[in-house]
């Protein structure tokens, strides 16, 4: 449960709101976590079917379960990449807002680009 909580908190905190913990969680994060839970179940079921396989049909069933597992891995990975990219964008935007708030305006009497150096 900690990976979900960590990603959810990271997503919310990256908004920059003062009460970020009250923001709603992006539904994609829930889908990502649900797929990872499904992966655990699929792997266990496929392993159990494979270890008890004594016929060609049971081996085929096991292979189909492992194939489903791999498909879910791919989908969950794509969602994870989307989440990381979205969090990165939110944090870049937040960093820009913070930089804009804390930047010191340049003095108009000082030339830019180091043309006027102090003696």
Position 118 scores a pLDDT of 54
The SS3 of residue 36 is: helix
Position 62 scores a pLDDT of 85
For the entire predicted model, the pTM comes to 0.71
DSSP string, 61-97: HHHHHHHHHHHHHHHHHHHHHHHHHHHHHHHHHHHHH
CA-based torsion, 6, 9, 10, 11: positive or negative: positive
Position 67 scores a pLDDT of 92
Q: What does the pLDDT profile of the chain (119 residues) look like in tens digits? A: 688 999 999 888 887 777 888 888 889 999 999 999 999 999 898 888 888 888 888 888 888 889 999 999 999 999 999 999 999 998 888 877 777 777 666 667 767 665 555 55
Position 79 scores a pLDDT of 96
Position 115 scores a pLDDT of 53
Question: Cβ–Cβ contacts within 10 Å for residue 75, how many?
Answer: 15
């Amino acid at each position: 449960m900690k990976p979900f909580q960590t990603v959810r908190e990271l997503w919310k905190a990256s908004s920059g709101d003062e009460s970020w913990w009250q923001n709603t969680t992006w539904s994609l994060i829930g889908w990502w976590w649900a797929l990872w839970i499904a992966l655990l179940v699929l792997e266990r079921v496929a392993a159990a079917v494979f270890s008890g396989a004594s016929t060609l049909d049971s081996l085929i069933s096991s292979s189909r379960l492992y194939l489903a597992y791999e498909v879910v891995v791919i989908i969950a990975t794509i969602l994870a990449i989307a989440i990381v990219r979205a969090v990165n964008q939110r944090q870049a935007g937040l960093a820009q807002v913070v930089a804009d708030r804390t930047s010191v305006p340049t003095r108009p009497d000082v030339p830019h680009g180091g043309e006027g150096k102090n003696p």
